[in-house]
Amino acid sequence: MNATTPLAVITGGGRGIGKGISLRLASEGYRILLTYNSDSFSAEETVDMIRSTGVDAVALKIDCSNPSEILLLSEHPWCLEGIDVLILNHGSYERVTASELTDGELRRTMEINFFGAFGVWNSLKKQLNDGAKMVVIGSQLGIKGSPHGADYSASKAALHVWARSLAQDLGPSGKRVNVIAPGYVDTAILAGDSKEKREQRNSEVPLKRIGTPSDIAGVVSFLCSEDSAYITGAVIHVNGGLFLP
């Protein structure tokens, strides 16, 4: 594969939902440039899985809350050739009750989840090809809130509204921006669940199971395809019926 092969840039693309997206888009012929911040093993493992299928991929260590590191991403030769898909997926979630949340904790979460996503977009926007697609991974908590994750909820709410505003602004250029708001997904966030807690989560969902990264990746695939050519500015809830706004 070469520079004529479409490129997907996926922040936090080495594990969890990001890994699912990386593998799905690679299976559809995209070169994959994924970022990670701390888990180099998972990121390189994902790259190896993709390369084993004959598709090119690379992992970059990028702290998306650090403007200097984001600049390194924008200067990667693949990005300079042009980006066809941008997936803003990275994020941080720390359980802190809303009433005990400190100013510093809120600012840190916003720096990573919201300003980090904005910073990646702002650094890469001139490298997006005509007709590029952008998908922002939000959360149901960005709409309904959370008693133990107010900072996370606030950051995702900001992402939702910013992305929808961007969709309106970019529409005339042919670029599309959409948001996916997952519910429970089997990733590291839920890794600490006891058996009883996992069963409780399953029972809360009308489809009687928590989601998988591939469930989210399938919707990303749709939003990056021509089947969704008339969809932009949407917030698509992928939660098994758990939350119906």
Domain ranges in the chain? Answer: 7-238
Give CATH for domain 7-238.
3.40.50.720
Selected catalytic residue, list 30, 36, 152, 184: 152
Say how far apart CA 240 and CA 242 lie, in whole Å: 6
> In the chain, which residues have pLDDT < 50?
1
d(CA 40, CA 105): 25
Whether 152 is a known active-site residue: answer yes
pLDDT, residue 95, reads: 84
Angle between helices 16-27 and 213-223 (to 10 degrees): 50
Amino acid at 64: C
- 3-state SS class at 48: helix
Which residue type occupies 108? R
Put simply, whether the predicted model's pTM sits higher than 0.85 gets the answer: yes
pLDDT in the model for residue 2: 54
Provide the pairing of β-strand 128-137 with 57-61: unpaired
